Amino acid sequence: MLKDFSARAAGMGLLAAFVGYASSFAIVLAGLTAMGATDTQAATGLLFATLGMGICGAWLAFTTRTPAAVAWSTPGAAFLASTAVLPGGFAEATGAFICCAMMIIGTGFVPLLGRLVAAIPKPVASALLAGVLLKLCFAPALALGTIPLMVLPVIAAWLIGLTINKLLAMPLAVIAFALVLALVTESPPGAVAGLLPDIELQAPLFTLQSLVSVSIPLYLITMAGQNIPGFTLLELNQYPVQRQKLLQTTGWVSALIAPFGAIPVNMSAITAAMMCGEDAGTNPQGRYWAALICGMAYVLLAFFSSAIINIAALAPAGLITAVAGLALIPALVASVNAAFSEPLQLEAPALTFLITASGMTLMGISGAFWGVVTGVIIWQFKRYRDQP
């Protein structure tokens, strides 16, 4: 195992942890607050969601020897942020999180459900991944229009790295980001005080309303928006994927952290995209070290959650997402190429990509789910129509 270690993999793992946490923790907090969580409950939920994805990610990397990155359900958190508070408050929301976790576990144990997930055509799943990545890949350009003096040094460092060696692009961009943040921000007194929040275990309340209005949509969004693209990303990079085993593991971890008000954890496409490429090492068989280091970094971040929230808030959100967008451009190109790799089946991945990238919602369910549904229907219709 130690012979597979490389400094490049360790560096990319640390970068992936930074990008994964800093670019989405605010969405998680917004989702928990919208569900009626108090400040203490929201901080506890964030702490255990971070612990869950860290421990689960490190364990999967260690056992599978693949860069099987794990993240919290960011699109699921966004769904929660747009949902009305349940009558039973955060206790009812916690019950919904537990039910969602049990659905994920069930998908991992029931072969038919696993086959249904695996049956989604790869071009459609690749188009879903491209749609998920597209918005973040817009971030550098959007930030250039709003905070040009802060973003220009980061983009310039990234371009310099590309001209010298593409493996230097992201390390130089992150160094530039750190320098910019140090020059233009000032840490207020007490920013690192109270590293660990008070822990509050939430007694769950189970209702049919929370099952229908929160658990099922959260499950569908997590599967369509996170797990499927995560599986696809690993497969695109020629890594073996045991989908049911991965679903069982992430489902059980989600069930363990849910009583603390934590949203589900799942396979990650975004951070996995960073750790599957050459930036994580020239040897593909050693890139699992990036996911292992990333998981360990998440565990460390969890125990500094209060301080990290205070410090990360100093950086404009556009600057953080710009760094993430630069790192994901190669993954976007790869997923777009895979999505449109079959000339006779272009409409299905095209609509999947457009609906997912649009950010639309219908009946409280995100465009990622509807994009997959539309793509699969059109794919099967054309396949049936074109049969001799």
- DSSP string covering 279-297: GG-S-GGGTHHHHHHHHHH
Domain count for the chain, please give it. Answer: 1
> Pick the residue with more confidence: 26 or 121?
121
Determine, yes or no, domain membership for 24: yes
Does residue 352 belong to any structural domain of this protein? no
Residue type, 308: I
User: Measuring CA to CA, how many Å separate 276 from each of 9, 169, 299, 369?
Assistant: 10, 16, 21, 25
Mean per-residue pLDDT, 152-172: 82
Q: What is the pLDDT of residue 308?
A: 63
- pLDDT band at residue 186 using 50, 70 and 90 as cut-offs: low
In this structure, is residue 155 part of a structural domain? no
In a domain, 165, yes or no: no
Give the chain's mean pLDDT.
82
In sequence order, what DSSP letters do the residues of 162-194 get, joined into one string? HHH-GGGHHHHHHHHHHHHHHHH--PPTTTTS-
The region of weakest confidence among 321-325, 352-356, 373-377 is 321-325
> Is a pLDDT exceeding 60 seen at residue 322?
yes
Mean pLDDT of 121-131: 82
Within a domain: residue 383? no
The Cα 109–Cα 283 span in angstroms is: 33
What range defines the domain where residue 216 resides? 2-149+184-318
Q: Which amino acid is at 99?
A: C
- With 60 as the cut, is the pLDDT of residue 138 above it? yes
Instruction: Name the percent of the chain lying above pLDDT 90.
Output: 18
Model confidence pLDDT, tens digit, residues 304-313: 777 666 665 6
Convert the pLDDT of each residue in 208-257 to its tens digit.
Answer: 888 877 888 788 778 877 888 888 888 888 888 888 899 999 999 999 99
Q: Is residue 364 part of a domain?
A: no
pLDDT, tens only, 51-96: 999 999 999 999 988 888 899 888 788 778 767 788 888 999 999 9
Mean per-residue pLDDT, 353-357? 87
Is 344 within the bounds of a domain? no
Tell me what pLDDT residue 218 has.
Answer: 83
Residue 168 belongs to some domain of the structure? no
Write out pLDDT tens, residues 34-50.
888 887 888 888 899 99
Residue 194, phi-psi category: left (phi > 0), alpha (psi -120 to 50), beta (remainder): left
Strands 265-267 and 70-72: antiparallel
Between the alpha carbon of residue 63 and those of residues 58, 249, 271, 289, the distances in Å are 9, 11, 18, 11
pLDDT number for residue 364 = 60
